[in-house]
Structures are given as structure tokens and as C-alpha cells.
Amino acid sequence: MRREQEFLDLLHGRLAELRSGAETAVREALPSAGNNAQARLERDVLVSEQAGLLAAFDAGENGLCFGRLVFRDGRDHHIGRLGIRRDDADRTPLVIDWRAEVARPFYLATGHTPMGLRRRRHLTTEGRRVTALHDEILDLADAVRTGHEGADADAVLLASLDAARTGRMHDIVQTIQAEQDRIIRAPHDGVLVVEGGPGTGKTVVALHRAAYLLYAHRAQLARRAVLIVGPNPAFLRYIEEVLPALGETGVLLATPGELFPGVTPTGTDTAEAAAVKGGAAMADALARFVRDRQILPDPETVIDHEDGELRLDAETVYEARRRARETGLPHNLARPYFAFRVIDALTAQLAGRIGADPYGGPNLLGPDDIAQLGKTIAASPEVHDAIAELWPALTPQQLVADFLADPVHLPDADADAIRRTGGGWTPADVPLLDEAAELLGEDDSAARAAAEAERQERIAYAQGVLDLSYGSRTQEFEDRDEEDSEVLAAHDLIDAERLADRQEEADHRSAAERAAADRTWAFGHIIVDEAQELSAMAWRLLMRRCPTRSMTLVGDPAQTSEPGGCGAWETILAPYVGDRRHHVRLGVNYRTPTEIMEIAAAVPRSADPSFAPPRSIRSTGTRPWALRTDEVAGAVAGAVARETREAGRLAVIAPRARHAALSAALPAASAGASPDLTSPVVLIDPRQAKGLEFDSVIVVEPGEFGTSDLYVALTRATQRLGVIHTGELPAGLAALAPADAAAPGR
């Protein structure tokens, strides 16, 4: 213990040196960038790198070192969150990053396959203090004993699992299991599907995989960023501290409803509407709706012009539309081709009228005359109005709003389900907006023209500055010697264009920040949690964000509950990668005790006798209980009062329709769309409970849940589970013990 404490003191001292060096580098770099673009770029790169190091140093402060490997050949390595070298001159590692290949025996070695180890040590620390050691002997010929050997190889894991929840997911870097390690370090190319039931650690494995990929492929992924998609904002807050604790901050966390920049969903859909909007048929319906906006005149469009009326008949417009569609460009990008054809047709019409030879000869107008006529037509507001009516420029928001107001190209029942005029955007609208953006394209010619005009203004201003500077200094140099005239020549090398470019500020945002603001960003890797819940339209959005199909998909089809959720992996992936995917299944339940899992598994098994839940590795000896009552709110309040005598966090999981009454009975509980999960008591529904875990859970009115939602609700507890109900219990829950026999304290 003393030697490990001395080592930990040394390690924290070295970390303090590294932190101080990074802080000094940032402090000295900021005011010393120089006056040229190269110097500023070098400064920005240095500051960004050092700021990233500081974030990693701060994150690694807690649990800096958690393991030690002693090899048969004499090698001896400490394992930790960060790789730290002894000093700048001596490159010998003090502690090895857990993601390094040499650290793998810490997670994979067994007595049967020791991977060259004599012993493996787990260090438990609190802050900067070593509090416990646990040694595993892997070489039976090793006779040395430290007094910290343990017969139970899983003691550290079980201690972690039994610890009280904090309302935030914690990392498992110290207790990664072999099956988890293989998933974490799997190649990042292609689609990896990680399936597992409740409590198997799917989410935390996926987060550690993100940290590993950023370590192993830093240059590529730091530039393109990693996107982690979660089911709801509460879940993202629950997991948000895991990657920073592992030293990684360059990751974008988002829900599917947050993946269209500039749109924040505030509305809600009925289950039927969400299912319709999420269906694959919506893509075709929107595409046909866009083509509907490319209309033909009936029978013709008449345009007022100073040289007489101009007429666009259906045949002329049809030909212009056909040629524009043949470009294969999105609607807004094809629009200029349509406009050019229309303007050419109107120019020919006007030229034929004005330049006609009364004696039947060739047109009297020359090429220059016709070109001038074309310019006047192209500048005509009336012509622009006609083109806008026949082929309007559209925004995604405008298109989707118009479609929802009149949902054509859908069956009547589906159209009625989603028809809406006004109101805020809903999460199910976001994939529709993204689809619309793809169909429309963005005509940025006006923006580019404005940017170039602004740049020319800066150049003109810079030239004026240089002219003033040159004029005021010319006389100064006239009477000086030849050496001074060379200084003036050097001054002339700074032209107005380069001076103007210096005025532009570089984009200092991280890759994740830039990706969040750019709908067309292509991520280096995407991790999707609760992947079975995403609709077909949401998958179209995500696949556009990752053209390389480098993805990790995490979920459990048995827990599918969202309207429109794809559920089956084949349904999700076949349209994009066929069967070119790697599938792994986690089969060990680390969260849910055996007593709770036996009850929970009976729910899906009542509908599917072949259902096989993950195997729980722990038992608490506490049986789940049930209480039938006529007054739900009071019974829940009493149960919460009893449960909160125990340490940890408690969740009341109830149907959304019962939340108002329960909130009144539980004034201290955090509730609503985004409850504070660090609160001792939270009130949520099963959809909000996805991916979360609590020490105690009280499920209210299970008969009002669907099978998947009830299975989710019953598997959130790590210690204690109670059920409060008024009617008969659903199939599978009959084995619950009465409250008077199993309730806390009895």
C-alpha cells in the first residue's frame, strides 16, 4: 500500500507538471502570434492542442491509475486513464493508457490464458489516496504473496456494481470484461451491431469504444468527429460525463431530433402520427410532392412586358422542365437550368416579334441585339414572378409545412393522422426536414456572390489603407539611402488582397461544434444507442451523415417501443449495407439482480415462451414486491418515503397520464420532460427510462404499459423493485411477493 501510494504521489506530481506546462504554453502563445497568417495558424493549432491536453489532464485526475501488470519476463506496467511519460527527456512510461495494446492483458488475461502475466493488480483510489489493492495470481508457480490476494476474481467488479447510483453513468475502465474489450477494440470500418438485453452494458461499452477509436485513429476521427445518438435529452445528460472522464471531449452527443441545424422540436405527435412520419413511404411522398411544385401552365402563363405580352404555353414549359430534371440535380439547384430555358424561349419569342422582316426575310436583329433582349427579360420582375410560380425556390421548412397541411400521396388514414397547420416542429418532423433538404438542395449562388462582394469591399478598404500609408511614407524615404528604399520595397510586397484576408478570423470551433451546425457534415464514426427505436426516415438521415458506413449500433429489439421503430436489424440495415455487418451479442446482465430479472423476464416470456433474457451475475437477496391499492398517489408517496431511507437514487416509473397526480403527491421528485437525474427521486415514464438505472424503482400501474415498456420499467433497478397497482397484474407478474412480506424494512 505504501509503495503504491508513493507511486500515485509521483504520478500526480508529474501530471501537475504537464498541466502547468500546457497552461504556460497557452498563456505565452495567445499574445505572440505575429502579424502573418502562418503565425496565427500555428498559434491556433498550439492553443487547440494544449487546451485539449488540459481537458484530458483534468478528466484523468480522478482514478488516474487503477491497475498494474507484472509479467513473467520482468516487465512491470501501471495502467491508467492517460498515458504519462516519466519526463520530456526520459520517454519511459510512468503509466500506460488503458487503450494501448500492451494494456490488453489487464482485461483479457485468465488463469488458463495468462498472456505472460505473473499477477494482475487492481488499485482502488479515492482522489489521490490508495484505499485498497486486489491481486490476482495468474502464474501458479509464483510463490510471492503480498497479503492482498483475493479468492474472488470478480470482487472489484461486484463492488462497483453494488455501489449506489449517482444519477450519472460512470465509466467502467477499471472493470471492462473480456467480451466487452473485444467489442471496444473491434475495427472501426463497417457496421458493428452490439445487441444485448437490459443491464448488459451496451451503452457504456459503446462509449468506451468511442474513446478507443479516438485513441487508435486520432488523426482521422478528430478531424471528422464522432457522433453519438441517444434516445432523449435526459439520457444524453446521464451519459455526458463518461467520455470526458476518459479524456475525450471532441464528440457530439445528440438526439435524432437535434440533427437538423436551426430547428429545435417543441411539439409532440400522436403515436399514430409518429409512426406514419417515420415510415419509409414518406421519402417517396415528399419526392412526389416536390415534383408537384414544378408545375405546367394551364393552358398558358401571360407575362406583361414593356414590348408587349409574352406567353408561356404548356409545351414550352414542359420542355424546360424536362431538360432541368435531366440534370439530376435537386429542385433548387436545377431551378436555374429551368429559368435559363424559359428566358431563352421568351427571348426568342420577343426577338421574333420585334425583328420580324415584313417581307419574309431573316430576322433583322443581330446576335448583340438578341443578347440585349435576353438581358432585359432576365431582369424583368414579371418574368421572375412567372418562373417562381412555375418552379419556386423552396426551403425545407416551407416544403414540409406545406406537405403536412395537405399530405398528398399518402393513404387517406395516414394523411389524416399527420395533417397539421402551424404548431411547433416535432422530433418526427426532423427526418422529414432533412429529406426535404436533400430533395431541394441549397442554391448558394446568392450567398457566394454576397461573400465575394463583401471580400471585394474589404480589398478596396485595404487598398485605401495601403495608399494612405504609402503616400505618407514616400516623402519620408525619398531622402534616405538605398538600404531604406529596400524597406519600402518590402512594404510594397503586402498587397491589398493579402491585407484584406488577414482581417478574416479563422474558425476556432472544434470539429464537433462545426459538425453540429452543418447539416451536410460527414462524421468519421457514428454510435447509435437504442438503435431499434429509430424510424426508417431517421435512418435515412443518419446514413447521409456517415457515407462510409462506419457505425456502431447498440440496442435490443425486445425493448422496441417507439412508434415507427424499425426493431429488427435486418429491417434497419438491409437497404444500406445488405448483410455486410458484424453482429455481436452481450449475454451477461451486470445491472439487474437475479431476483428482479426473473420477474421482469416473465413479461416478454408470457407472449413468447422462447424468450431468453441475459444472465444476471449478482443477487441481492431482496425480493421484488407488489402492492394493490385503491389510492395510487398515497400508496406511492408512502413507498417512496420507505425506500428513500436507503442510500442511492429512486425512480417512480408511471404512465404519463398519471404524472400530474403523482407529482402533487411527490413534491420533492424531479419530473417533466427533462428531469434532474441526480435528484434522490425522479418521476418518469418508460420511454424516459430507456438506458437509465437506479438503485430502487417503483413501477406504477403496470397494466397500462405495453409489453416492451413494462419490460424496460422492470429492469431499471440495481437493488430493489416494487410495483403498485389498482387492477389485476399483467401476465408474468403473478409471482411478485405481497408488499407486507417483501417491502423495505419488513
Per the CATH hierarchy, to which homologous superfamily does domain 594-741 belong?
P-loop containing nucleotide triphosphate hydrolases (3.40.50.300)
Q: What is the mean pLDDT of residues 414-421?
A: 96
pLDDT in tens, 122-143: 998 988 999 999 998 888 777 7
How long, in residues, is the chain? 746
- Per-residue pLDDT at 486 exceeds 80: no
CA 13, CA 438: separation in Å to the nearest integer? 54
Average per-residue pLDDT for the chain: 86
CA 727, CA 145: separation in Å to the nearest integer? 60
Q: What is the pLDDT of residue 484?
A: 45
Contact by Cβ (8 Å): 690, 251: no
- Per-residue pLDDT at 20 exceeds 90: no
- Per-residue pLDDT at 504 exceeds 60: no
266 DSSP assignment: -
Contacts of residue 640, defined as CB under 8 A and 6 or more positions apart, other chains included, come to 650, 652, 666, 669, 681, 698
With cut-offs at 50, 70 and 90, classify the pLDDT of residue 173. confident
Q: What is the pLDDT of residue 744?
A: 43
For residue 584, the cross-strand partners are 194
- Per-residue pLDDT at 295 exceeds 90: yes
Q: What is the pLDDT of residue 358?
A: 76
- Per-residue pLDDT at 356 exceeds 90: no
CA 240, CA 668: separation in Å to the nearest integer? 24
The CATH number given to 178-260+519-588 is 3.40.50.300
Q: Where are the domains of the chain?
A: 1-151, 178-260+519-588, 272-438, 594-741
Q: Which residue has the higher pLDDT, 480 or 596?
A: 596
Q: What is the pLDDT of residue 188?
A: 83
Which residues are part of a known binding site? 196-203
Q: What is the pLDDT of residue 367?
A: 86
Q: What is the pTM of this model?
A: 0.82
Q: Which residue has the higher pLDDT, 59 or 278?
A: 278
Q: What is the mean pLDDT of residues 395-414?
A: 96
Q: What is the pLDDT of residue 503?
A: 47
pLDDT in tens, 43-92: 666 666 666 666 677 766 778 899 999 999 999 999 998 888 887 777 78
Which residues are part of a known binding site for ATP? 196-203
pLDDT in tens, 92-107: 889 999 999 999 999 9
Q: Which stretches does DSSP call E strand in 288-444?
A: 300-303, 310-313
- Per-residue pLDDT at 183 exceeds 80: yes
For residue 626, the cross-strand partners are 723, 738
Q: Write phi, then psi, for 732 (nearest 5 degrees).
A: 100, -20
Q: What is the pLDDT of residue 307?
A: 78
Q: What is the mean pLDDT of residues 454-466?
A: 67
Q: Cell triple for residue 474? A: 514616400
Q: Which of 321-325, 386-390, 479-483 has the lowest mean pLDDT?
A: 479-483
Q: What is the pLDDT of residue 60?
A: 63
- Per-residue pLDDT at 22 exceeds 90: no
pLDDT in tens, 525-554: 999 999 999 999 999 999 999 999 999 999
Fold identical between 178-260+519-588 and 594-741?
yes
Q: What is the pLDDT of residue 742?
A: 45
Q: Which residue has the higher pLDDT, 745 or 96?
A: 96
Q: What is the pLDDT of residue 40?
A: 62
Q: What is the pLDDT of residue 445?
A: 56
With cut-offs at 50, 70 and 90, classify the pLDDT of residue 362. confident
